[in-house]
Amino acid sequence: MATITIYVPDQEPIELALDGYEQVSIGRGPDNDIVLDHVSMSGSHAVIHNIGGSFQVQDLGSTNGTFVNGSAVAEAGLANGCRVQFGAIEAVFHDETEAGATFGASSGGSGYTSGHVSEIAEVSNRPASFRDLSPIEKVVKKNALALAATLVGVVAILAAIALIALSAMMKAS
């Protein structure tokens, strides 16, 4: 059985069985089979095709790209354990069947449209082996105490310079 587990930051992972679907669309738009309401997702981001029990992912010209095992792809076969990234959204493909272990076919899908729309839940648990491959920079929170200490240091240096200048002006007059 083939599944994909999707990890959205700060939300529960979702696992979707892919067997029985000819293709599954992924994106931010409501017309996708898997709707991921995340800023890094395009409206129609990617499609996973089921071609005779072998699976491949196809990027649909998304802004932030689709990656398989860390490499940007337009289209790529999926094997058991592949790490897939849609924008900043990470996922793992699992296929314990023999067909999924050796991907062979590569054609374009059937145009099947599913009425299935998966909503992502609330909290994410990423596998420890995941690396952040996102082209979007993460905002790093600055340590407030370090910033305050730096500001106090700069003010102290400026005050010392002002006192030296004032002292020099008093001696000159």
Cα distances (angstroms) measured from residue 8 to each of 81, 98, 132, 168: 18, 29, 12, 62
pLDDT tens column, 121-149: 334 455 555 555 556 666 666 677 888 89
In whole angstroms, what is the distance from residue 14 CA to residue 80 CA?
Answer: 17
Note whether 36 and 62 are within 8 A (CB): no
pTM of the model: 0.56
pLDDT higher than 90, residue 160 = yes
pLDDT higher than 80, residue 88 = yes
Q: Look at residue 132 in the predicted model and tell me its pLDDT.
A: 58
pLDDT tens column, 17-34: 988 889 999 999 999 999
Q: Look at residue 101 in the predicted model and tell me its pLDDT.
A: 46
In this structure, of 10-14, 86-90, 93-97, 138-142, the range with the lowest mean pLDDT score is: 138-142
Note whether 84 and 72 are within 8 A (CB): no
> pLDDT band for position 8 (50/70/90)?
confident
What domains sit in the chain, N to C, each tagged with a CATH number?
Answer: 2-95 (2.60.200.20)
Percent of the chain whose pLDDT exceeds 90: 50
pLDDT tens column, 35-45: 998 899 999 99
In whole angstroms, what is the distance from residue 38 CA to residue 28 CA?
Answer: 7
Q: Find the angle CA(155)-CA(157)-CA(160) to the nearest 5 degrees.
A: 110
Q: Where do we find the tokens 């910033």?
A: 147
